[in-house]
């Protein structure tokens, strides 16, 4: 079976694995899901420029419930619909609150049968809500086990062809790591917060972080340190040459809002 997508790209989807395609309005309203959700936004800051680099869209319940309260309801049956609804909800709200930076959206690789299917929905949402495509960053969360690296690389390459930035979230905690990085170089990686936590007290974590940052600079990948909570952690990370940060030290996630950012004095 074939579907026609933007720019006349034809994509083959195996018989029996064709997900139902919903419109932006349907996805926004939770079509295919038996639960509702919304988003909070947490800034990612550029320490050198003292500006906001991006905002990450984080799933929340409609009255502010935790991400887990929503993600625990995602299963093999509704994973694709949830992934699509997240994209549209994030873009809709980012446009509504006039986020001026990049927008980071997590995607579920195991929900994507063909990347072009999801791209079509993203293009429609960008058009409907007038949010620029070149300000979208798609993050692969390493915590979701993926056996087929070729599938991930296909997704990343398709995204880059449309001008999206790509990122690996929670780098160092999951199933991809250096093996995936050797095959495909995303625009960004986000160091897992467990590596960052109390890094000023852990000489091994300091050496690992410094080495990863150095390698990424050489191959043209920007590094984001996430989960930064203290001045002591920040000092070590700045000394490692990292300049993009996400964490409570700068800003907590803001419910359906861009939030406020503080740049501490070192």
Q: Name the residue ranges covered by the structural domains of the chain.
A: 20-255
Which of the pair, 204 or 17, is modelled with greater confidence? 204
* CB distance 91 to 126 below 8 Å: yes
pLDDT digits (tens, 9 = 90+) for 43-52: 999 999 999 9
What pLDDT is attached to residue 60?
97
What secondary structure letter does DSSP report for 231?
Answer: H
Q: Would you call 2 exposed, middle or buried from its count of C-beta atoms within 10 A (0-12, 13-18, 19+)? A: exposed
Q: What is the distance between the alpha carbons of residues 132 and 250, in angstroms, rounded to a whole number?
A: 26
Residue 94's alpha-carbon distances to 17, 126, 129, in angstroms, are 31, 10, 9
pLDDT digits (tens, 9 = 90+) for 99-148: 999 999 998 777 766 777 678 888 999 999 999 999 999 998 755 566 67
Among 116-120, 161-165, 234-238, the minimum mean pLDDT is found in 116-120
CATH class of 20-255: alpha beta
Is residue 233 over pLDDT 80?
yes
Which of the pair, 144 or 188, is modelled with greater confidence? 188
All residues at 6 or more sequence positions from 148 whose CB lies less than 8 Å from its CB, including other chains:
none
* CB distance 154 to 113 below 8 Å: no
pLDDT digits (tens, 9 = 90+) for 199-222: 999 999 999 999 999 999 999 999
Question: Mean pLDDT across the stretch 58-68?
Answer: 96
Among 17-26, 150-159, 224-233, the minimum mean pLDDT is found in 17-26
Q: What is the distance between the alpha carbons of residues 10 and 7, in angstroms, rounded to a whole number?
A: 9
Is residue 12 over pLDDT 80?
no
Report the mean per-residue pLDDT for the chain: 85
Among 119-128, 149-158, 232-241, the minimum mean pLDDT is found in 149-158
Which of the pair, 106 or 32, is modelled with greater confidence? 106
% of the chain at pLDDT higher than 70: 82
- Alpha carbons within 13 A on the beta-carbon side of 109: 26
Is residue 151 over pLDDT 50?
yes
What pLDDT is attached to residue 28?
47
Q: How far, rounded to the nearest angstrom, does the alpha carbon of residue 234 sit from its chain's CA centroid? A: 22
């Amino acid at each position: 079976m074939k579907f026609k997508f933007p720019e006349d790209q034809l994509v083959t989807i195996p018989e029996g694995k064709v997900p139902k395609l919903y419109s932006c309005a349907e996805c926004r309203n939770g079509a295919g899901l038996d639960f509702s959700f919304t988003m909070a936004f947490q800034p990612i800051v550029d320490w050198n420029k003292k500006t906001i680099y991006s905002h990450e869209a984080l799933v929340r319940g409609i009255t502010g419930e935790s991400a887990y309260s929503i993600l625990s309801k995602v299963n093999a049956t509704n994973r694709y619909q949830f992934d699509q609804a997240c994209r549209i909800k994030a873009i809709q709200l980012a446009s509504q609150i006039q986020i001026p930076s990049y927008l980071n959206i997590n995607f579920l690789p195991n929900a994507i049968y063909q990347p072009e299917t999801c791209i079509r929905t993203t293009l429609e949402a960008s058009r409907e809500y007038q949010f620029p495509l070149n300000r979208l960053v798609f993050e692969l969360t390493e915590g979701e086990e993926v056996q087929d690296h070729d599938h991930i690389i296909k997704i990343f390459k398709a995204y880059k062809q449309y001008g999206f930035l790509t990122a690996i979230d929670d780098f160092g905690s999951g199933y991809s790591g250096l093996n995936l990085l050797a095959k495909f170089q995303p625009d960004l990686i986000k160091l897992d917060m467990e590596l960052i936590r109390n890094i000023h007290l852990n000489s091994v974590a300091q050496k690992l972080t410094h080495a990863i940052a150095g390698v990424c600079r050489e191959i043209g990948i920007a590094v984001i340190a996430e989960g930064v909570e203290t001045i002591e952690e920040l000092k070590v990370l700045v000394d490692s040459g990292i300049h993009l940060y996400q964490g409570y030290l700068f800003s907590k996630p803001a419910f359906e809002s861009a939030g406020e950012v503080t740049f501490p004095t070192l």
